[in-house]
Structure 1
Amino acid sequence: MKNFVSLERVGQSYGSGRNAFVALRDIDLSIAQGEFVTLIGHSGCGKSTLLNLIAGLVPATEGVLLCAGREIRGPGPDRAVVFQNHCLLPWLTCLENVHLAVKRVFGAAEDARRLQERSVAALRLVGMDHAARKYPREISGGMKQRVGIARALAMEPKVLLMDEPFGALDSLTRAHLQDALQEIVAATGTTTIMVTHDIDEAVLLSDRIVMLGKGPAATIARILPTGLARPRRRNDLAYDARYLECRAEVMDFLHGCQEELQPAVA
C-alpha cells in the first residue's frame, strides 16, 4: 500500500531557550493509504498535538510531514478533522452545515445542483439524510457527531483526522458510532487517524495502534499491528484470542506508563 502520510523526525516545542517546552520529539511514522491508525497514551503525551500537526493547524518546529507526497504547510481539503465537539453552526440546518464545507472545496468547479447532491450524499452515508432540515438543537449528541463526520467526508479528504470524536457520548451511542465508522471507512477507503483514550475502541477500529510514551518530550514508544480481519463485529471479538492479546498489550503499556508517572513515596 502507498503511504499517504509520512512523519520524519518530527518534533514540536513551544517557547525558546531555557523556557522552551518540548511536547514531542523524534516522531517517525508512515501511514498507508486506506489504513486506520489510532494514537493512544496518557493525557499530556501529545496525541492531539500530533494530530494537529498532521492537520496543518500548527507548524512543526522540527522535521518534515508529508501527505500524498506533498509537504504539509497548513490546513487543506486533503485532510479533514472531526473534533470531540461537533462544531456545527447552530443557525444552519444539518444539510446547510455540510453544504458549507462542500461549497468551500468544490464551489469554484461545480454548479449548485452538484454541490447539493454531494451534501445530501454525505448525510446519507452517515445515516442522517432524514434529518437534513433539522437544526443542531433538534438532534441528539450522537446525531450531531454523525453530521460532523458527514461534513468532513463530504470534502472527499485523503485523510480523515479524528480527535476523540466519541469521547463525550454515552457508551451505547459510542458503540453505534464505532460500528458506523467502520462501515463508512470500508465504503470510502479513507485513510483515518484517530486519537482515543479507549483501549477497546482502539483495538476494535485499528489496523495499527501507535502508543505514545509519557510527556513532555514524548515520542512513539510502540506500534502494535492488530492483525484482525475485517469486517469486524464486536460480539465476535469478545472472545477472540488476538483481540484479547492486543487489548492486554495496550493495557500493560498504559499501566506501565502510569506507574512511571506516579510520584515517589518517601
Structure 2
Amino acid sequence: MFDASDSLLMNPQSSAPADARFVRIEQVGLTFQTRKARFEALREVNLDIARGEAVAVIGHSGCGKSTLLNLLAGLLMPTTGGVICGNKEVAGPGPERAVVFQSHSLLPWLSCFDNVYLAVEKVFGAQEKRAQLRARTEQALNRVGLSHAMHKRPGEISGGMKQRVGIARALAMEPKVLLMDEPFGALDALTRAALQDVTMQLHAQLGMTLMIITHDVDEAVLLADRVVMMSNGPAATIAQILDVDLPRPRDRLALAEDPRYHHCRAQILRFLQGHAQHD
C-alpha cells in the first residue's frame, strides 16, 4: 500500500503549502491484464493540483486521460505509486470526489429532481431531515438553471439539459473535487459554450478543485489554470504542462482577441501535432 507519509519525505516538493498539493498523483503507473498480454496504460505519472485549481487534461485518443481521472475518482487502483486527496490516500470512490461522465447516466423513470435527490440522500441522508435533503436538491438544480424543469423526466428534456442534471447531481454532493470526463463532447457548439460558461461560474462561486478531460483545445484554454498534455500510449505519461496566464473571470468574446489566449492555444496545437499518431 502506498504510504503518504513516506512520499512527503521522498518528494522534493513536500515543502510546498498543503493547499498547493491538495491533490497529489505520485509515481503512478497502471497496467491492465488483458486476455492475451499485459497492457501498460500509464507510467510514472506525477502531478500536484492546488485546492481550487482548474486543470484540463488533453491528448490523443488512447493516451490515458480518462484512466487518470478514474484513478483520482477511485474507480481504478494504480499498479504502482499512489493518489492523495486532502492528505488521504484514494482507496475507492467517495463523495468528496464527484464525477460528471461523458454520458449523463440518468435513470429515465425518475424526474430530474429525483435523479439528483438519490445522490443527496446517499451522502447526507443519515444526518439530515427530508426537508433539508429536498432543499439541497432544489439548490443544485437552481445553480445549473433547471428550476423550471426539475420535475420532468430525462426523456422530456434536451441533451444539454440532461448534462446539466448530471452536473447538478455532482454539485449536490458538495464535493471538494469535481471530475469531468469530456462532459460536453456530444453536444452542439452553442450548448457546449453555454455549459462551459456554467462550469466557469460554478467553479468561481464554489471554489472546488476541477479536473476536466477534453479533446477540445479551446475548451482547455478557456476553463483551465493549467493544461496537462499527455504523451501517446501505451505507457503514457505527462509530457508537458502549460500555465494558462489569463485573468478570471474569463469572457470568451474578449479572449478571441487576446494574444495570450492565442499563444496558449498555439502551444497546445503544436504539442498535439508533434504527437500525432500515424497508422
TM-score bracket, normalised by the shorter chain, equals over 0.9
Q: Does 1:170 align with 2:170?
A: no
What is the Cα deviation at residue 225 of structure 1?
0.6
Counterpart among 198, 217, 225 of residue 243 in structure 2: 225
SS in 2 for 1:24: strand
Q: Does 1:129 align with 2:137?
A: no
Letter in structure 1 aligned against 2:127: A
Post-superposition Cα deviations, 1:57-81, rounded to whole Å, max 9, x if no partner, equal 0111110100101000000001000
Cα distance between partner residues in 1 of 2:220 and 2:133:
34
2:98–2:175 CA contact under 8 A, matched in 1: yes
User: Aligned residue for 1:13?
Assistant: 31
User: Aligned residue for 1:39?
Assistant: 57
User: Aligned residue for 2:14?
Assistant: none
User: Aligned residue for 1:262?
Assistant: 278
User: Aligned residue for 1:214?
Assistant: 232
Counterpart among 196, 203, 216 of residue 221 in structure 2: 203
2:228–2:238 CA contact under 8 A, matched in 1: yes
Counterpart among 79, 86, 98 of residue 104 in structure 2: 86
**Number of corresponding residues:** 260
Letter in structure 1 aligned against 2:46: D
Counterpart among 126, 142, 160 of residue 108 in structure 1: 126
What is the Cα deviation at residue 2 of structure 1?
3.6
User: Aligned residue for 2:207?
Assistant: 189
Cα distance between partner residues in 2 of 1:248 and 1:170:
24
Counterpart among 150, 154, 163 of residue 172 in structure 2: 154
What is the Cα deviation at residue 10 of structure 1?
0.3
User: Aligned residue for 1:96?
Assistant: 114
Post-superposition Cα deviations, 1:69-95, rounded to whole Å, max 9, x if no partner, equal 100000000100001100011011001
User: Aligned residue for 1:62?
Assistant: 80
Structure 1 length-normalised TM: 0.96
Structure 2 length-normalised TM: 0.92
What is the Cα deviation at residue 3 of structure 1?
2.5
Aligned structure 1 segments of 4 or more residues deviating by more than 3 angstroms: none
Q: Does 1:249 align with 2:264?
A: no
Cα distance between partner residues in 2 of 1:51 and 1:129:
30
Cα distance between partner residues in 2 of 1:229 and 1:89:
39
Counterpart among 29, 34, 49 of residue 47 in structure 2: 29
Letter in structure 1 aligned against 2:51: Q
SS in 2 for 1:81: strand
Post-superposition Cα deviations, 1:158-208, rounded to whole Å, max 9, x if no partner, equal 100000000000001000110111001111101000100000000000000
Cα distance between partner residues in 2 of 1:225 and 1:209:
7
Identity in percent? 59
SS in 1 for 2:148: helix
Letter in structure 2 aligned against 1:234: R
Unaligned runs of 5+ in 1: none
